[in-house]
Amino acid sequence: MSLFTGAGVAIVTPMHEDETVNYEKLAEILEEQIAGGTDAIIICGTTGESSTLSHQEHVDVIRFTIEKVAHRIPVIAGTGSNSTREAIYLSQEAEKAGADGLLLVTPYYNKATQKGLIDHYTRIAKSVQIPVILYNVPSRTGVNILPETAVYLAEHVPNIVGIKEASGNISQIAKLMSLAEGRIELYSGNDDQVVPLLALGARGVISVLSNVAPKETHEMVASWMAGDTARSLQIQMDMIDLIGALFCEVNPIPVKTAMNLMGKEVGPLRSPLCEMEEKNLERLKASMKKAGLI
Confidence (pLDDT) at 165: 98
In degrees, rounded to 5, the angle at the alpha carbon of residue 141 between the alpha carbons of residues 140 and 146 is 110
What is the pLDDT averaged over residues 192-208?
Answer: 98
What is the pLDDT averaged over residues 239-251?
Answer: 98
Confidence (pLDDT) at 1: 58
Q: Sketch out the chain's domains with CATH numbers.
A: 6-225 (3.20.20.70)
Confidence (pLDDT) at 22: 98
- Angstrom CA distances, 237 to 9, 157, 169, 226, 282, stand at 19, 37, 19, 18, 21
The Cα 252–Cα 240 span in angstroms is 17
Query: Residues 131-179: pLDDT tens digits?
Result: 999 999 999 999 999 999 999 999 999 999 999 999 999 999 999 999 9
Catalytic residues: 135, 164
Confidence (pLDDT) at 52: 97
The model's pTM? 0.98
The percent of residues above 70 in pLDDT, for the chain, comes to 100
The percent of residues above 90 in pLDDT, for the chain, comes to 99
How do beta strands 101-105 and 75-78 pair?
parallel
pLDDT at residue 231 is higher than 90: yes
Confidence (pLDDT) at 153: 98
- Look up residue 211 and give its amino acid: N
Query: Residues 53-107: pLDDT tens digits?
Result: 999 999 999 999 999 999 999 999 999 999 999 999 999 999 999 999 999 999 9
Per-residue DSSP letter, 185: E
DSSP β-bridge partners for residue 7: 205
Confidence (pLDDT) at 96: 98
Q: What is the CA radius of gyration of the chain?
A: 18
Confidence (pLDDT) at 2: 79
b/e map of 56-93 (b: 16 or more CB within 10 Å)? ebbbbbbbbbbebbeeebbbbbbbbbbebebbbbbbeb
pLDDT at residue 11 is higher than 70: yes
Beta strands in the chain (DSSP E): 6-10, 40-43, 75-78, 101-105, 132-136, 160-165, 185-188, 204-207
Beta strands in 106-157 (DSSP E): 132-136
The Cα 265–Cα 96 span in angstroms is 31
The chain-wide mean pLDDT, for the chain, equals 98
